[in-house]
Structure 1
């Protein structure tokens, strides 16, 4: 008797999102939470190390940059290996990697060792995110895909916030090493839940000798209400295509969209890290109270966390291109308003910074969701990884450009007025993508309906 061929996409689209899918979202969000915690923790540790080790100011930038360079290596070189080894394996391996090197940081005795360990930690951190996003998308129905990705990446922002809170509690009592120990122990504790409850990528399982049986086991666990007969075969989207390569991103149908995505990622992360890096210095220079500096600096990240659900729902229901274009235009307006708010009262400054952060930090998560929606399954991990890697260059360039302007005696108001233009340019890039690829997607959906 011929085996039954089952369309996996049809199962995912027709079923209500269940506990199995929400477990995938939760585990991926927890991994991103630890990713964000470790990324931000070093910002609180370096000042303490600087005093303890009597470090000159010029070396501090190298310590911060080490993990950023490692992140780029993880995004660009390691993340694409998930096509060969599977997203679940990549997530578990990267989690162990950044946990171990975070633990070894506790035993660093000089700057050279610290920079090397932060570089290796960054590779692990960078390899985790694209696989988490890709695996979330693989088991998410299209109507919820953007929402799920934003929820997962919301974990990253929460990690930023909790790192600050943990630093305030742990470091005064137990020193900087205590924060590193927490940052190492937590991901090691997450490895067992990942191994037990996280399903492996169906696209990866399909290439295994016993792939059909293993795919059936995953689908039965995630969708217990669906009857799947033993011996069934399974069809996945884009299964006839060749395995992803980096060059595939910049040729054919995805080429123009890839370039536009890279530009948007670059500009968005440049703005985000500019705000996170320079707001404390600018506010301190303007003689704001230390408590005000802390709260205003935290507002963009808090706004980014609160943006996840409304932006995800808007992207799923209204469309990703229209939502992001509007978000960036509004963000440019609020950055311009922040410039004027420096000379106003504190309440208005906090409102404008919060709204700008909602658009910039929320845009950072939303453009990752856009990349996950834009690329087909075979390109998703590679596409998201390279977009994040290119964006990381913006994360390095944004604070540097702002520092050059600050050194050239530009006022904070002038700098924020200037930074409204790159956000507007990012909105134009998303709008251009929507004009080309949004219409193609609608045409494809109408064709599928008929």
Structure 2
């Protein structure tokens, strides 16, 4: 049996060697952080019936509250995603956890709609930055052979967080307490994750290789040792005449620009459909005559469907490429959303409908995230992912607002018409994904050897 891969390229060391238990532990923590993001985002949906009842607000105004953290996520993905490429993945994650914990705690103490909206926006800033950083850490801590599986596990953490939060909300928080307990619970769990990240997650070797700080080799080897991988002896020499790559290459580089824009706007339209179910299903079912805990259970089943669909889709990606399967499940998801609009007379009918929508729609999210990890080189991965997520969050934020005003314009009884219109987003996203160019061989080689020329000059950039 061949020995471990060593050399001067830490990216290749991670890519080509078998994953250690420490690498899988890092992936597991990223799954937990994504689950935390999933719960934090959906906490307002779980709380929506209680908020609406206590403050007597209409669906159009509720839609603004529900979109607040999604707007914040858009800004956070771009602003704090860039922080992860400049200061490091680990500092960015810790900062985002502090922001999220504080925002959730203050949301539970809000006494009016606009105060709650502000704190949900601030919470969203942290969630957006967290998504960009954790996506990069998952990709950069996993081997090439297991990266597809690692990314699928990471993505399904999001609905798993919704499932756990849903069970907690429907069986405990909303039964023994009120909607404020949902946000307080999220704040406590978020705070618990801070010491876990501090102690168990090393900075990625890819970050140090791309930034080349003082003592880069020593820092890279410290990370490699933490991940139970062999060290390198030196980094390659840098040609002084070579072009200096920048994180702004995601839009200025003619090879990266179409990838960035097609992924960003494809994801944007997909999230319009995706978040319609996640943000309005509980309110719709509650208005159909079911109790708040019963209505919350439909979102739990939606996330169970998302977790199962995402996991199965992750195994498909080990055999097929990203684009075709992602387009297929996105189209099936849009059909399931339209079918959701038919409605149901039973609670299990609603649960089955939301299960199917998220089964397909979240499988497509796995495909998008796999494309994010593959589409950007290490030196701009968090920035590229953050930009795409930031643009996508415009669709996520707009989704409950659009749906809320459609219900006002068409009437609350026109559920099928509203659902059919909201289903169009996933179709448009699939069309844009169809135009996504596949990477050529020399771009693939650049990913395997991403030690950029002039990297030391970018430290002050």
Give the TM-score category using the shorter length. Answer: 0.7 to 0.9
CA displacement at 1:360 relative to structure 2: 0.9
Q: Is the CA contact (8 Å cut-off) linking 1:250 and 1:256 kept in structure 2?
A: no
CA displacement at 1:279 relative to structure 2: 3.7
CA displacement at 1:25 relative to structure 2: 0.8
Does residue 215 in structure 1 map to residue 220 in structure 2? Answer: yes
- Aligned positions of 1:135-150 closer than 5 A: 135-150=137-152
Structure 2 unaligned spans of 5+: 1-5, 449-461
- Aligned with 1:99 (options 89, 95, 101): 101
Does residue 63 in structure 1 map to residue 68 in structure 2? Answer: no
CA displacement at 1:113 relative to structure 2: 3.8
Q: Give the 3-state SS of the residue equivalent to 1:32 in structure 2.
A: helix
- Who is 1:245 aligned against? 247
Q: Is the CA contact (8 Å cut-off) linking 1:284 and 1:293 kept in structure 2?
A: yes
Q: Give the 3-state SS of the residue equivalent to 2:8 in structure 1.
A: strand
- Aligned with 1:43 (options 21, 42, 45): 45
Matches of 2:415 and 2:97 in 1, distance apart? 39
Matches of 2:422 and 2:62 in 1, distance apart? 26
Q: Give the 3-state SS of the residue equivalent to 1:209 in structure 2.
A: coil
CA displacement at 1:51 relative to structure 2: 5.1
Structure 1 pair 429–348 and aligned structure 2 pair: CA distance change class (3 A): same
- Who is 1:362 aligned against? 363
- Who is 1:376 aligned against? 377
Larger CA deviation: 263-272 vs 396-405:
396-405
Q: Give the 3-state SS of the residue equivalent to 2:43 in structure 1.
A: helix
CA displacement at 1:246 relative to structure 2: 4.3
Q: Give the 3-state SS of the residue equivalent to 1:155 in structure 2.
A: helix
Structure 1 pair 223–235 and aligned structure 2 pair: CA distance change class (3 A): farther
Listed one character per residue, the Cα deviations across residues 235-266 of structure 1 (whole Å, up to 9, x for unaligned) are 69xxx774543463354101112221122111
- Who is 1:201 aligned against? 204
Larger CA deviation: 9-18 vs 387-396:
9-18
Instruction: Flag the structure with higher helix content.
Output: 1
Structure 1 pair 25–212 and aligned structure 2 pair: CA distance change class (3 A): same
Q: Give the 3-state SS of the residue equivalent to 1:193 in structure 2.
A: helix
Listed one character per residue, the Cα deviations across residues 35-84 of structure 1 (whole Å, up to 9, x for unaligned) are 222222233345445555x4644654443333222212211222111111
> What's the TM-score, normalizing by structure 1?
0.84
Structure 1 pair 317–142 and aligned structure 2 pair: CA distance change class (3 A): farther
- Who is 1:388 aligned against? 389
Listed one character per residue, the Cα deviations across residues 70-124 of structure 1 (whole Å, up to 9, x for unaligned) are 2122112221111111001100111122112322334445545433332222211
- Who is 1:187 aligned against? 190
CA displacement at 1:337 relative to structure 2: 5.0
Provide the aligned C-alpha RMSD in A.
3.3
- Who is 1:413 aligned against? 416
Larger CA deviation: 275-284 vs 74-83:
275-284
CA displacement at 1:135 relative to structure 2: 1.0
Matches of 1:297 and 1:336 in 2, distance apart? 17
- Aligned with 2:76 (options 74, 77, 82): 74
- Aligned positions of 1:18-417 closer than 5 A: 18-45=20-47, 47-49=49-51, 54=55, 56-57=57-58, 60-168=62-170, 169-206=172-209, 207-224=212-229, 226=230, 228=231, 232-234=233-235, 242=244, 244-246=246-248, 248-249=250-251, 251-280=253-282, 296-335=298-337, 337-338=339-340, 342=343, 353-406=354-407, 407-408=409-410, 411-417=414-420
Larger CA deviation: 267-276 vs 245-254:
245-254
Structure 1 pair 332–88 and aligned structure 2 pair: CA distance change class (3 A): same
Matches of 1:381 and 1:106 in 2, distance apart? 31
CA displacement at 1:319 relative to structure 2: 0.9
Matches of 2:284 and 2:48 in 1, distance apart? 20
Larger CA deviation: 210-219 vs 175-184:
175-184
Larger CA deviation: 266-275 vs 404-413:
404-413
Matches of 1:211 and 1:356 in 2, distance apart? 47
Q: Is the CA contact (8 Å cut-off) linking 1:85 and 1:204 kept in structure 2?
A: no
Matches of 2:130 and 2:415 in 1, distance apart? 36
- Who is 2:8 aligned against? 6
Structure 1 unaligned spans of 5+: none
Structure 1 pair 16–75 and aligned structure 2 pair: CA distance change class (3 A): same
CA displacement at 1:287 relative to structure 2: 6.9
Matches of 1:36 and 1:258 in 2, distance apart? 24
CA displacement at 1:213 relative to structure 2: 1.0
> What's the TM-score, normalizing by structure 2?
0.82
